[in-house]
Structure 1
Amino acid sequence: MKIAVIGAGMIGVSIAAEAAARGAQVTLIDQGAPGAGTSAVSYAWVNSNNKEPESYYELNLAGLEAHHRLAASGADWLRPTGHIEFATDPEHEVELQSRLERLGELGYPADKITPSYARELVPDLLIPDSAGVVAYFPREAHCYPSLYIRHQLRRARESGVKILSGVAVENFREAPGGVRLGLSDGSTILADRVVSAAGRWTNTVTATAGFGPVMTEYQEPGDVTVGYLAVTNPLSTSIDRLLTTPSLNIRPDGGGRLLLQALDLDGTAAPGADLRPDSSLADEFLSRLRKVLGNTDNASVTELRVGERAMPADGRSIIGPVASASWLYLVATHSGVTLAPFLGASVTAEIMGETEPLFADFRPDRLLDNAPAARLAAPRKPGQQ
């Protein structure tokens, strides 16, 4: 079987590597460089924490467990060190307590802990003893997407995947023996199946194939597709796991650096914004950091990014073949980092004739056959993504 995979982010490289390992002839195509799209600007929290409805929870749980299996013998791209979240205002306390109870009923590892135990887990954590609810999710992890992509690209190359970078797909033409892809460099590829793992560029793929949009696209600052991320200088503060607080989300970013997220600040985020590390926005991130973690007095912001989310039009993942063009298989999800290793194996299995029950609620024709969904609200509270 000849398979063309469009998009070399975490999902695309996973599918390409797995399909080639199962004997397919695979060409992986990306309009830029592998991992340079959404994967490069992700908070990269691996979890099934605040995922609803239950079918989406189960899908993300499968992704979380797939990460653990893939990294079982050691991996530089996954840090399975858990996640702490604490609440200090009544609304957040009620929500977090309710979430703990729901996750407990589902069997998801989620424990209510004391502030003192939270400080044992993160010695520099400045958590008040009055914190109403403190939660620990020991199975959760954070991921370094560039290292994950490097791992999967190595697998892909070893299995004979042809990788085309800096090349866009300009047209599809059904032909004897499959579908022919016309590329921007003037070449063509004949494939039996085309897998779109183009993330936030999925609408370009569907338009090229003669279909309407399935993804939410950026419209104005602060909408659901965008959010700020700040990177610090290397610090000596003691934190080795994800931390969600009322004012700031924090995770290690390698080499002593921290990656910071503050959802309530995202109202002005816009793609291509001129973001300076000496701006008032950077100062606000630093002010919040110093109130949450000790040994951060010398912290500075070295980079401000606008993270851009791949967001299907109704917020739910898109996974499956297009009914009226069975050669085209669409994969697009906001949970790409969590789902990547599971999608690599399960999408490949479906292309080769199996059916994955966990994909039942996420088939693409629900969006291709209907008017666009109502506009989605942007995440603005702790624990959201």
Structure 2
Amino acid sequence: MADHPHVLIVGAGIIGASTAWHLASAGARVTVVEAGAPGGVATRNSWAWINASWGNAESYFRLRVRAMEEWRRLERRLPGIRVAWGGGLIWDLPAEQLEAFAVEHAAWGYDVRRVGRDEARRIEPQLVAPPDFALHMPGEGAVEPLEAALTFLKAARGLGATIVANRSVHSLDFRAGRIRGVRTDVGDLDADEVVLAAGAATAALAGDVGLTLPVDAPPALLVATKPSVKLLNGLIMAPGIQIRQTAEHRLLAATALDDDVARGDGALPAANACEKMKEMLLSGASLDLDWYAVGHRAIPRDGLPFVGRAAGILGLYIAVMHSGVTLAPAIGQFVAEELLTGRRNALLEPCGLERIPNSGIR
């Protein structure tokens, strides 16, 4: 491989964008290919909660905490990265599960605080019916995800990276045990390394060379109101709905959808989500629905990211995960380091592809 390898990244969402900037910052030649507009699909439709709340095993929790720290470093290093560190108020689980979560995460060193009704009202004065018991994580935040991804891409382009939009990758160029590049709808692109960071499309591309990624893409609904007065200080995770307020003062709600509803246009569940926000907030009557989006997030079935190389396929690196917004700055840094130096960060230990059963490389 050349001293300054050419790395081609498939996907210009926040994981691909962060990886591109970290690689370009380290001197690599970088090309990013995106089927649609820069920023990808899942990223622009993300609720964009930055947290280590639901990290499952402690090893994954540690990765998420590191990623939160990297977001804070990025705010100082990269103009245009803006995180609203307003904290998260959670009561979307039964009290006994919330208590178990608090005990576990406090033992791991996470700043998690038990709050009652009066404290919940102080944290979020607009709540009509504050919960009797909730958890508050003051160190959590949110970012405007498309803005962040475009900031990474602009900075990468300023360092010499090439961003190719509206160009679909339909397969990998795999010859003699090595990925040589990608095949697109308008011709082939060569590279020394290919990084698949294409979200829900990653599994299909990996499958083209015999790598079976156990990744699902369940539907979710994102609902935005028209800009409003300031109603929330931080993030709210209530039963059935998550709400935050954006930098332009829109209320943004995220809810799960079942497959039958997702096959429709989403209008009814979006209207219901807007009504729920109105009911939950004292000044909510003034809220008006502006837009909604039904999207599909790539979620590995065991809950852990897939970040690394597959045995038997040289020149291919996989980076697919849920909580992509939380993890983006750390994953971008770690992927760049591994590709350019061969050193793998210890925090990626649970994320390797060796845990995929019976992945038959052709």
TM norm structure 1: 0.85
Partner of 1:236: 229
After the TM superposition, list the runs of 4 or more consecutive aligned residues in structure 1 that deviate by more than 4 angstroms: 73-76, 175-178, 268-272
Matched residue SS, 1:239? coil
Pair 230,329 (structure 1): closer, same or farther in 2 beyond 3 Å: same
In the alignment of these two chains, the number of paired residues is 353
**Does residue 1:364 correspond to 2:357, yes or no?**
no
2:99 to 94, 97, 115: 97
Which residue of 55, 68, 76 maps to 2:59?
55
Aligned-partner Cα distance in 2 for 1:7–1:309 = 14
Q: Does structure 2 conserve the Cα–Cα contact (< 8 Å) formed by 1:124 and 1:237? A: no
User: 1:323: how far off?
Assistant: 1.4
Paired residue type of 1:111: R
Q: 1:6 aligns with which of 7, 10, 33?
A: 10
- Choose the corresponding residue for 1:80, options 80, 85, 97: 85
C-alpha displacement of 1:179: 1.6
Give the AA of the match of 2:249: G
Q: Are 1:299 and 2:287 counterparts?
A: yes
Contact 1:200–1:215, Cα closer than 8 Å, also in 2: no
Structure 2 residue aligned with 1:289: 277
1:274 and 2:273 matched:
no
**What is the alpha-carbon distance in structure 2 between the residues aligned to residue 217 and residue 51 of structure 1?**
18
SS in structure 1 at match of 2:119 = helix
Q: Which residue of 2 aligns with 1:377?
A: none
C-alpha deviation, 1:333, in angstroms: 0.3
Kindly provide the amino acid, as one letter, of the partner of residue 356 in structure 2: L
CA shift digits 1:219-252 (9 cap, x unpaired): xxxxxx1122211122225213101123432111
Query: Counterpart of 2:266 in structure 1: which amino acid?
Result: L
| Paired residues of 1:250 and 1:261 also in contact (CA < 8 A) | yes
The answer as to whether partners of 2:179 and 2:313 remain within 8 angstroms in 1 is no
The worse-fitting range, judged by mean Cα deviation, of 328-337 and 166-175 is: 166-175
1:380 aligns to what?
A: none
Distance in 1 (alpha carbons) for counterparts of 2:67 and 2:260 = 29
C-alpha separation in 1, matches of 2:186 and 2:55 = 41
Distance 1:246 1:217 in 2: 23
What displacement does 1:268 show? 5.1
8 Å CA contact 1:231–1:257 kept in 2: the answer is yes
* 1:136-177 Cα deviation digits (max 9, x unpaired): 101111111111012101210111001111122333144899
Aligned to 1:112: 114
The equivalent of 2:183 in structure 1 is: 182
Whether the 8 Å contact between 1:193 and 1:328 is mirrored in structure 2 is yes
Of residues 305, 330, 333, the one that matches 1:342 is: 330
Distance 1:47 1:119 in 2: 22
One-letter identity of the residue aligned with 2:83: L
**For residues 245 and 178 of structure 1, do their structure 2 counterparts lie closer, same or farther at Cα, with a shift above 3 Å needed?**
closer
Distance 1:8-1:99 versus aligned 2 partners, 3 A rule:
same
Q: Could you say which residue in structure 1 is the equivalent of 2:40?
A: 36
Deviations 1:313-339 (A, max 9, x none): 433210001110121010100111100
> Structure 1's 14 and 284: CA in aligned 2 closer, same or farther, altered over 3 A?
same
Q: Which moved more, 1:19-28 or 1:303-312?
A: 303-312
* Counterparts of 1:288 and 1:159, CA distance in 2: 45
Gap change, CA 1:241 and 1:36, over 3 Å in 2: same
CA deviation vs aligned residue, 1:1-60 (integer Å, no higher than 9, x gap): 111111100000111111111011111111111113111111111111021111211111
Which is worse superposed, 19-28 or 54-63?
A: 54-63
Could you tell me how far 1:194 is from its partner in structure 2? Answer: 1.0
Task: Specify the code of the residue in structure 2 equivalent to 1:202.
Answer: T
Q: TM-score, normalised by structure 2?
A: 0.90
Please show how residues 319-358 of structure 1 align to structure 2 within 5 Å.
319-352=307-340, 353-358=342-347
Measured at CA, do residues 27 and 237 of structure 1 come closer, stay the same or move farther in structure 2, by a change above 3 Å? closer
Cα distance in 1 for residues equivalent to 2:105 and 2:76? 24
Q: Which runs of 5+ in 2 are unaligned?
A: none
Bigger shift: residues 31-40 or 341-350: 31-40
Aligned equivalent of 1:376: none
Counterpart secondary structure, 1:149: helix
Contact 1:4 1:195 in 2 (8 A): yes
Answer whether contact 2:11 2:40 (CA < 8 A) is retained.
no
Q: How many Å separate the matches in 2 of 1:328 and 1:62? A: 25
Superposed CA deviations along residues 169-227 of structure 1, whole A, max 9, x for unmatched, are 333144899724333212x333221111111101222133x123314345xxxxxx112
